[in-house]
């Protein structure tokens, strides 16, 4: 019997991406981001700040949820090709990964 697995729902509409980013900033939820400025693939992190000046600029957390340091953590909204919202909180996921990494290091 196959279990129902939630599917990721990515959006590429700028208005919807901005809505997801604002939600991440307000509630601390992680968001998956596809942007050539970050590199190839999906980067799962959270939003620290959003500047709504001449151009919308997004300041991300400096690390993704696996502890990988991002190439850059400042993106223009136009740099983000698609995004996906998650229910998990950044601090909870990142701290769990950090604790797991420390535990693994203690075995060496």
Boundaries of every domain in the chain: 14-105
DSSP readout, 80-104?
--EEEEEEEEHHHHHHHHHHHHHHH
Note the Cα 30 to chain centre separation in Å: 5
The CATH architecture to which 14-105 belongs is: Roll (2.30)
What's the whole-model pTM score? Answer: 0.79
What are the pLDDT tens digits along the chain (108 aa)? 456 656 778 999 999 999 999 999 999 999 999 999 999 999 999 999 999 888 999 999 998 888 888 999 999 999 999 999 998 888 755 555 555 555 544 433
Dihedral of the CA atoms 91, 92, 94, 96 (nearest 10)?
Answer: 150
DSSP string, 7-19: PP--B--HHHHHH
């Amino acid at each position: 019997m196959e279990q129902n697995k939630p599917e990721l729902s990515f959006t590429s509409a700028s208005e919807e991406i901005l809505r997801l980013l604002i939600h991440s900033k307000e509630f601390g939820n992680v968001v998956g981001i596809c942007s050539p400025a970050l590199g190839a693939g999906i980067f799962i992190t959270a939003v620290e700040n959003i500047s709504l000046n001449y151009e919308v600029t997004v300041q991300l957390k400096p690390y993704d949820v696996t502890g990988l340091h991002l190439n850059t953590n400042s993106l223009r909204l136009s740099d983000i090709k698609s995004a996906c919202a998650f229910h998990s909180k950044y601090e909870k996921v990142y701290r769990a990964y950090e604790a797991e990494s420390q535990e693994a290091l203690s075995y060496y």
